Structure 1
Amino acid sequence: MANAAASVLKPVAHDEQLNTGLDAKYREEMAELLSQVLISTYQLTIKSQIYHWNVVGPLFKSLHELTEEHYNALFEAADIVAERIRALGHLAPATIGETSGFSPKGKDVDHGSAIEMVKDLITDHETAVRTMRKAGVKADEAGDLVTADMLTARMTFHEKALWMLRAIITQ
């Protein structure tokens, strides 16, 4: 009985053939790229929240509020990205091994000054944008307008975040 329940609840990709104009090989490659986007989104979510909790000094209020805005937006974005992976007929990361990259490693979270925290977030946002741009170009070339549009919206968020983070530490 327990095995039957477990097999019913086990996530599976679509069994049917998708006929949306996107070939299977492309959908598989894009699902992998979007999984990388999802991982970087989660890492930034967690890191933004850690810095939100721990920032001190003259930049406290502005960074505390900005990182809260960012981690809330990033958390919502993770759902959007995961749902797009599912719409392409693939599973979003579902096992402990597949999701192990969601959390930044301890040494990757800089508990230094507020300026060091911001510089660290800038690096991660830039990395996320580069990954999304690569996926967006591939989506555009494949005629996958939905994925390209989603990635454009995500890059818009990250580039605005970069502008704001840089503005905070400019002297």
Structure 2
Amino acid sequence: MDTKRKINIGMTEEQRSGIASGLSRLLADSYTLYLTTHNFHWNVTGPMFNTLHLMFMEQYTEQWNALDSIAERIRALGFAAPGTYREFGELTSISEVVGVPKALEMVDHLVFAQEATARTARSLFEIVDAAADQPTADLLTRRLDVHEKTAWMLRSLLEE
């Protein structure tokens, strides 16, 4: 007896696989962004310490909570979610930060990372729309709202 039941949710396996692959890239970007933001929270110094320390904590907490939603959507589509540093390193579009940058360099790096994560999320809409995958579209819309708003707030700190 075959114990693995076929998934029949109105999308082909090819559609589900393509969406899960894209969501895996989004999960990798999101995890890299989370880890980078948490690192910066721990290591920020200078006159803006308190402001950035608290802001980074709010951002990494939000990011941490989002990871589960993305991974669970991949699982709901019938695929394993990536979950190792190696897998995330291969899938992410965000470069690892070496050393401890100065406070405003941290902010600049996070602007790039927020925007990169938004681009990854946005890149999935074509396949998601073609598959009429409203739950994933909803997830992507929520993530885009957060990443675009956070990038704007961080960019505002870089203005004179």
| Length-normalised TM-score, structure 1 | 0.84
TM-superposed CA distance for 1:29, in Å, is: 0.9
Whether 1:24 and 2:13 are equivalent positions in the alignment is yes
TM-superposed CA distance for 1:109, in Å, is: 4.0
| Length-normalised TM-score, structure 2 | 0.89
Say whether the 8 Å CA contact 1:34–1:85 is kept in structure 2: yes
Aligned pairs (5 A) from 1:87-102: 87-94=76-83, 97-101=86-90
Runs of 4+ with >4 A deviation:
94-97, 99-106
- The CA RMSD measured in Å over matched residues stands at 2.1
Aligned pairs (5 A) from 1:71-110: 71-94=60-83, 97-101=86-90, 108-109=97-98
Q: Tell me, in whole angstroms, the C-alpha distance in 2 between the residues paired with 1:22 and 1:97.
A: 30
Q: Tell me, in whole angstroms, the C-alpha distance in 1 between the residues paired with 2:91 and 2:48.
A: 27
Say whether the 8 Å CA contact 1:55–1:114 is kept in structure 2: yes
**Candidates 112, 130, 147, aligned match of 2:101:** 112
Task: Figure out how many residues of one structure are paired with residues of the other and give that number.
Answer: 157
Name which one, 1 or 2, has greater alpha-carbon Rg.
1
Measured at CA, do residues 59 and 148 of structure 1 come closer, stay the same or move farther in structure 2, by a change above 3 Å? same
Q: Tell me, in whole angstroms, the C-alpha distance in 1 between the residues paired with 2:78 and 2:104.
A: 42
Say whether the 8 Å CA contact 2:45–2:102 is kept in structure 1: yes
Tell me what 2:42 maps to: 53
In structure 2, what residue type is equivalent to 1:154? R
Say whether the 8 Å CA contact 1:125–1:162 is kept in structure 2: yes
Q: Where does the alignment leave 5 or more consecutive residues of structure 1 unmatched?
A: 1-13
Tell me what 2:155 maps to: 166
Tell me what 1:148 maps to: 137
